[in-house]
Structure 1
Amino acid sequence: MDEQTPPARARIQLRGLRGLPLRFVVPNVVTLLALCAGLTAIKLAADKHFETAVLAIVVAAVLDGIDGRIARALKGSSRFGAELDSLADFIDFGVAPGLVLYFWSLHELGTLGWVAVLFFAIAAALRLARFNVMIDDPDRPAWMAKFFTGMPAPAGAIVVLLPLYLHLVFNLTVSTGLIVLEAVYVLGVALLMASRIPHYSGKSLGRVPREEFIFVLFVAAAALVLLAFFPMQMLIVLSLLYMSMIPASVRAYNTFAAQDAKAREASVPPA
């Protein structure tokens, strides 16, 4: 008999489940939790709970930042996990922020507001696809790991919500003119994500020097406390700070590129 009986197939499946190490499961569970947070943000925005929706996207960004580190620490990285992470990132940082802004104010512009949301989601998808391709490039110089090409999707999701942070903190009147500016701003962030403008990569940070450990720990703790008690105000500061770092990222990238070009020229033997 060629085909296996149902009990035989069930035994094979159970053996496969028993043989799956927990270190492969944990990072994917964190990724799924991030996906749940992103989808919940859409639901909260549809119910007009915009501040809570913002916090849900922040939670998704935090979980996205730790799932890869957990996978590397547990040696549980897998192709399945990488694909799942990309799909979750598209929902969390490409779809959810755009819909939050659409439910808040962009719907007032009709088709124009929806087009801005579509462009943002498309830019996030292209950004994630390009990242997956570039990370597997064997010819990529080691120094390029210090930079992202284009604004990362999680950063784009946090930065694009800046108009909403400002409204929640300062109770700004949402006029048609401001909504048009918001749509232009969303398109600008989308262009930064799809562009090849380099951004600093937090993944490139090394170990903290022993003499600076206490200071770094204090700053991190203070930032977390401020984010917990003044979330919208801190998100405004972080968004503006991140965007102000883009010129410095470009200068640093160009410096590394020039040094790399000189090193390549020096390594070429004269004709």
Structure 2
Amino acid sequence: MSQEPQADAKPYPTRARIGPRGLRGLPLRFVIPNVVTLLALCAGLTAIRLAADGHLESAVLAIVVAAVLDGVDGRIARALKGSTRFGAELDSLADFIDFGVAPGLVLYFWSLHQLGTLGWVAVLFFAIAAALRLARFNVMIDDPDRPAWMTKFFTGMPAPAGAIVVLLPLYLHLVFGFETTPKASVLEAGYVLLVALLMASRIPHYSGKSLGRVPRDKFIFVLFVVAAALVMLAFFPMQMLIGLSLLYLGMIPASIRAYKTLAAADGAGETARKDEPDAAQVPPA
């Protein structure tokens, strides 16, 4: 049964009230970050099509482009002061396609299809882990009680890093020409499940968002390293991706140790603060 409108209810706004005036009030700085996010989404979907057509190296590069754009859109939004809740939700949806669906399908079209249902289950587990990882990130980012030192770490492997790392067997195939036999596909499926567990786990990983400024005395060195890395990535993309994937996996133990050290220091400081007498309860001298 439909409810009848009340006598004192306000009428719906007319088109004259919400039309051109609303469009004129939208600054361009809110549009640019969302356009970059949509470009990243297009890159992820293009990777799926390229993999289905057999162009594996181009599919890998499309996922890399999506990861680069994903790292850029948030910085552009913060630089332009154009961060919005809409942009955050759009970014999460694009990340799920780019880093949860596209890498798994690329691996399935390449090798995991030889395992039949087992290979597809590995792809499903990876997509589920990426969805859970992104949902947990959206919840934790709104937590006001989170200590400041925790912003240096991600809880679980980030989705973009997981998408790059999970493609390591494909990089090795493209560089060294390893055959995709059913036995090798079993190992690849196990590796996919391992990366999925790292994404869904609570293992801390270093966050690159804390690297916001470069010391003046090291600016030239950092500029040279970044330029050299971009040149190597342009001419030897698969070799660089192998090195970056192994380097990231090797940094996980260091991230765990650094997290435990900061957590212990924060716990000791919290205990010391609790042991101090409250100023309101201390009688005046």
Q: Does TM, normalized by the shorter one, top 0.5?
A: yes
Q: Once the 2 structures are TM-superposed, how far is the Cα of residue 11 of structure 1 from its aligned partner? A: 6.6
Kindly provide the amino acid, as one letter, of the partner of residue 86 in structure 1: S
Q: Paired residue for 1:13?
A: 19
Q: Choose between structure 1 and 2: higher helix proportion.
A: 1
Pair 1:52 & 2:58 matched: yes
Q: Paired residue for 2:49?
A: 43
Q: Once the 2 structures are TM-superposed, how far is the Cα of residue 206 of structure 1 from its aligned partner? A: 3.5
Q: Paired residue for 1:174?
A: 180
Q: Secondary structure at the match of 1:101?
A: helix
Pair 1:200 & 2:206 matched: yes
Corresponding residue to 2:253 among 243, 247, 251: 247
Kindly provide the amino acid, as one letter, of the partner of residue 157 in structure 2: M
Kindly provide the amino acid, as one letter, of the partner of residue 26 in structure 1: I
- Please, what TM-score do these two structures have when normalized by structure 1? 0.96
Which segment drifts farther, 160-169 or 170-179?
A: 170-179
Unaligned runs of 5+ in 2: 1-9, 278-285
Q: Paired residue for 1:164?
A: 170
1:260-271 equivalence runs, <5 A: 260-269=266-275
Cα separation, 1, equivalents of 2:199 and 2:256: 14
Distance 1:3 1:140, change over 3 A: closer
Q: Paired residue for 1:221?
A: 227
Q: Paired residue for 2:217?
A: 211
4+ long deviations beyond 3 Å: 1-4
Q: Once the 2 structures are TM-superposed, how far is the Cα of residue 2 of structure 1 from its aligned partner? A: 5.1
Which segment drifts farther, 169-178 or 66-75?
A: 169-178
1:90-105 equivalence runs, <5 A: 90-105=96-111
% identical equivalent positions: 82
Deviations for 1:151-177, whole angstroms, at most 9, x for unmatched residues?
000000000000000000001111111
- Please, what TM-score do these two structures have when normalized by structure 2? 0.92
Q: Paired residue for 1:72?
A: 78
Q: Once the 2 structures are TM-superposed, how far is the Cα of residue 18 of structure 1 from its aligned partner? A: 1.7
Cα separation, 2, equivalents of 1:60 and 1:13: 34
Q: Secondary structure at the match of 1:89?
A: helix
Corresponding residue to 2:146 among 114, 126, 140: 140
Q: Secondary structure at the match of 2:154?
A: strand
Kindly provide the amino acid, as one letter, of the partner of residue 215 in structure 2: P
Q: Secondary structure at the match of 1:268?
A: helix
Cα separation, 1, equivalents of 2:269 and 2:152: 18
Cα separation, 2, equivalents of 1:142 and 1:232: 36
Give the paired residue count.
268
Cα separation, 2, equivalents of 1:206 and 1:37: 26
Unaligned runs of 5+ in 1: none
Q: Paired residue for 2:283?
A: none
